[in-house]
Structure 1
Amino acid sequence: MADVFRSLNLLETLKESIEHNKLSDVKDAVEDLLISRINLAVIGDRGDEKATFINSLRGLSAGDDGAAPSQSPVAPEEMASYPDPKHSDFRLWDLPPAPSTSPFEPEGYMDRVKFARYNAVFMTFSQPPQPNTVEVFLEARSQQRQTVYFILFAAAKGTEKTLEETRKASLEVLTSQGVALPKVYLVRPSTLEKFDFPGLLEDMGRELPEIRAHALLLALPTLTSTLITQKKEAFQALVWAAASLSGGVSAIPVPFVASMVDCSVALRIISKAQLSLCLDDESVERLARQRGMEPTGLKALRTCALSVEVTKGEVKKRLAAAEKDLGTVSPKLVEMAMPRHARSASRSFTAMLQALGGAIEEMAADGGKIVAAALGEGK
């Protein structure tokens, strides 16, 4: 759990809010973890590779409802928006490439595509980037925008040698135009778990504001076992926040709050975890189609009832069971979580931590088994 405590500094703010009886701040902190919008933009030529990349970021294939088409429905100079089918707070934007005209004013292009709206921007290409694309990057850096990334699409037929040659040529172009210590991520749009995309996510996690990195992590499909682990840790931190709210306010004379928190927030957390871990039927069926597998086999790997279906009855049952068995949570953990005036009322905190923490562990284990089977790990 120690890593989880360090993973979200917001939890320290939460503890301070409990200490000072600021219930609205506590509720807002939990809400921030449950709902945080993130907008990602993809700049580059439109076609199969860009559409596949946008779809893969949302766990979709070309034939799925809501998938980005290879032939964009908007004019070449216009923007297209693609919401995530499961996460309403996650949206992908398809932006046109920077025009090749000269002279070129990067500020004008950035204003037109509403560059400031996006939390991160991917500048994609299949050949070394054009000068005007680099100009946009340099202008973004001059405006203190750090979350702009160069992505070289790895063509399915490209050999390791040709891809590395293209990357090297791209780095030379960037250096010649004044980009200090340039970095080009090699990404295969159809299989994001390969090449440099996992490393790109690590860099984004460090460079995005904490709450945006959290939102991105929860919205991305479960591409790798590492992502499953990271999602589990994020949800454990969210469980801790909700348990702190529940246990903390129990010691404060506002009778309706604690009863309101326990079941309703628990239900929201578990529902979001099911979708984020891609355990719902639709996600499992979609993954099976993408990997050419039988969905029944992947569905059978879900052994936790909440992985299959999130119901109020199951959540209540787990909370009730945790109330009866509070002996396995360390007193030190309660001491770390609760301000002094609330420790006498830590029973609610402990029950929430037990019930939801255990559920997240079970659900993440199911997600890990499904990803391992889909990727053929362990064979």
Structure 2
Amino acid sequence: MEVDVVSHSLNLLETLKESNENNKLSDVKDAVEDWPWQESGGPKKSAFINALRGLGPEDDGAALSPCPTPPGEMAIYPNPKHPDFRLWDLPPTPAASPFEPEGYMERVKFLRYNVVVMAFTQSLQANSVAVFLEARSMQRDTVYFSLLASEKDTEKGLEERRNASLELMKAQGVALPKVFLVRPSCLEKLDFPGLLEEMERDLPEIRAHALLLALPTLSPVLVTQKRDAFKALVWAAASLSGGVSAIPVPLVASMVDARVGVRILTKARASLCLDDESVERLAWQRRVDPARLKALRTCNLSVEVTKGEVNLRLAAAEKELTTNTTRLVEMAMPRHARSAGRSFTTMLQALNGAIDEMGVDEEKILAAAGIGEGK
């Protein structure tokens, strides 16, 4: 697992370095913006948008049903904890014929988005498949179909609707068609984890990184992925501490000290949904005592990230640097980076240890809330 983290960390560094050298810093900013979900389906659509933002229907800023946005217009839903991560509710493709997919795509600025999920609740529309094919002709692979399910839907009924949709896609020339079953009330079940995995494979690494960190903690597997993603970010920050690379790193200030640790761990705490508001919301959604879930946060940083606590961890790491950690750094880093000093390994050990502890806390909270893997 640690080898995977090192590899991911170096890839992240290389991506950022390339963006800097080619004067494409906008790539870094754009990586955390604009994720549209082209849907129809009233309450299920709103529930899906809210679930992706970790919100319930009664929360401030939650998507409403019916949507107050006039028909044909786009609604924008920022993530409350990650404001640069925005969900766009695109108008559904019209059912009328003739239909020109190019005109629809131009009107909704289809090609500007990182990912498009074309979701439906009953029957997939032929015009939506036409848009999908047009996007593929432009080498846009991050377009997916999702069948939204409610608690009342039976497994048999869902499979019948999915099979009918797959047949329609085949009839219109889609090779190897896929339709993901998604239940907005329980995103950890059915096909959403598989949809997320496919998105991560199809997206450029820095965009997949942004997507992962902005989503709520839907399952223990996602907690592990978030933990490893933050370890990659820690590696990048530690490289600055060691004087390895002077490149801009998202979420990280140019001067690496305890303040950088506070900033990274504050983001990690929010991404792992360990803040009071997130824990209370989860307790309400799962009908669990909020105090019980909060008591599971045994790491001080899960409760509150302070500069004092980060300084204590940095000081402890400085005293406890191990030969194994130093050897790992020497093996994993490029030759030009091996001159990194103790500051590199100090930050690496201190922040990685903190992220591991926070991840364990979130796993305990999910288990107590009855969230796990499975269909």
Cα separation, 2, equivalents of 1:6 and 1:231: 15
Cα separation, 2, equivalents of 1:247 and 1:337: 15
**Which residue does 1:191 correspond to in 2?**
186
**Which residue does 1:77 correspond to in 2?**
72
Q: Does 1:308 align with 2:309?
A: no
1:375 aligns with one of 345, 349, 370: 370
How far residue 341 of structure 1 moved from its aligned partner, in angstroms, is 6.3
Q: Does 1:144 align with 2:139?
A: yes
**Which residue does 2:50 correspond to in 1?**
55
How far residue 262 of structure 1 moved from its aligned partner, in angstroms, is 2.0
**Which residue does 2:256 correspond to in 1?**
261
Kindly report which structure 2 residues correspond to 1:284-299, keeping only aligned pairs within 5 A, or say none. Answer: 284-299=279-294
| Structure 1 residue matching 2:151: 3-state secondary structure | coil
After superposition, the Cα gap between the structure-2 partners of 1:167 and 1:282, relative to the gap in structure 1 and judged at 3 Å, is: same
**Which residue does 1:235 correspond to in 2?**
230
Unaligned runs of 5+ in 2: 247-252
After superposition, the Cα gap between the structure-2 partners of 1:115 and 1:333, relative to the gap in structure 1 and judged at 3 Å, is: same
2:12–2:205 Cα contact (<8 Å) kept: no
Aligned partner of 2:83: which letter? S
TM-score by length of 2: 0.90
Unaligned runs of 5+ in 1: 18-23, 252-257
1:40–1:120 Cα contact (<8 Å) kept: yes
Could you give the per-residue CA deviations for residues 216-270 of structure 1, whole angstroms, max 9, x where no partner exists? Answer: 000000000000011111111111111122113599xxxxxx9921222211110
1:57–1:220 Cα contact (<8 Å) kept: yes
Structural RMSD (CA):
2.8
2:202 aligns with one of 200, 207, 218: 207
**Which residue does 1:7 correspond to in 2?**
8
Is 336-345 or 197-206 further displaced after alignment?
336-345
Is 40-49 or 73-82 further displaced after alignment?
40-49
1:34–1:269 Cα contact (<8 Å) kept: no
**Which residue does 2:250 correspond to in 1?**
none
After superposition, the Cα gap between the structure-2 partners of 1:35 and 1:138, relative to the gap in structure 1 and judged at 3 Å, is: closer
Cα separation, 2, equivalents of 1:2 and 1:29: 29
1:244–1:338 Cα contact (<8 Å) kept: no
1:15–1:337 Cα contact (<8 Å) kept: no
Aligned partner of 2:287: which letter? G
TM-score by length of 1: 0.89
| Structure 2 residue matching 1:122: 3-state secondary structure | strand
Is 76-85 or 313-322 further displaced after alignment?
313-322
Cα separation, 2, equivalents of 1:344 and 1:184: 50
Aligned partner of 1:117: which letter? R
1:5–1:11 Cα contact (<8 Å) kept: no
Cα separation, 2, equivalents of 1:264 and 1:337: 26
Could you give the per-residue CA deviations for residues 63-92 of structure 1, whole angstroms, max 9, x where no partner exists? Answer: 001100011111110000000000012111
- Spell out structure 1 runs of 4+ moving beyond 6 A: 14-17, 28-35
| Structure 2 residue matching 1:102: 3-state secondary structure | coil
Is 154-163 or 277-286 further displaced after alignment?
154-163
| Structure 2 residue matching 1:149: 3-state secondary structure | strand
Identical positions, percent: 65
**Which residue does 2:108 correspond to in 1?**
113
Aligned partner of 1:135: which letter? A
How far residue 287 of structure 1 moved from its aligned partner, in angstroms, is 0.6
**Which residue does 1:123 correspond to in 2?**
118
After superposition, the Cα gap between the structure-2 partners of 1:334 and 1:30, relative to the gap in structure 1 and judged at 3 Å, is: farther
Q: Does 1:100 align with 2:95?
A: yes
Is 34-43 or 160-169 further displaced after alignment?
34-43
Cα separation, 1, equivalents of 2:128 and 2:137: 15
Is 234-243 or 220-229 further displaced after alignment?
234-243
| Structure 2 residue matching 1:92: 3-state secondary structure | strand
| Structure 2 residue matching 1:201: 3-state secondary structure | helix
Cα separation, 1, equivalents of 2:157 and 2:25: 48
| Structure 1 residue matching 2:37: 3-state secondary structure | strand
Could you give the per-residue CA deviations for residues 193-220 of structure 1, whole angstroms, max 9, x where no partner exists? Answer: 1100000011111001110100000000
**Which residue does 2:38 correspond to in 1?**
43
How far residue 178 of structure 1 moved from its aligned partner, in angstroms, is 1.3
Cα separation, 2, equivalents of 1:250 and 1:122: 37
After superposition, the Cα gap between the structure-2 partners of 1:259 and 1:59, relative to the gap in structure 1 and judged at 3 Å, is: closer
1:304–1:363 Cα contact (<8 Å) kept: yes
2:84 aligns with one of 73, 89, 99: 89
Is 303-312 or 95-104 further displaced after alignment?
95-104
Q: Number of aligned residue pairs: give it.
A: 366
| Structure 2 residue matching 1:73: 3-state secondary structure | coil
How far residue 327 of structure 1 moved from its aligned partner, in angstroms, is 2.5
How far residue 170 of structure 1 moved from its aligned partner, in angstroms, is 0.8
Cα separation, 2, equivalents of 1:372 and 1:320: 33
Cα separation, 2, equivalents of 1:77 and 1:60: 25
How far residue 38 of structure 1 moved from its aligned partner, in angstroms, is 3.2
How far residue 13 of structure 1 moved from its aligned partner, in angstroms, is 2.4
After superposition, the Cα gap between the structure-2 partners of 1:95 and 1:376, relative to the gap in structure 1 and judged at 3 Å, is: closer
Is 341-350 or 28-37 further displaced after alignment?
28-37
Is 118-127 or 344-353 further displaced after alignment?
344-353
1:155–1:188 Cα contact (<8 Å) kept: yes
Cα separation, 2, equivalents of 1:139 and 1:249: 44
Cα separation, 1, equivalents of 2:74 and 2:171: 30
1:274–1:307 Cα contact (<8 Å) kept: yes
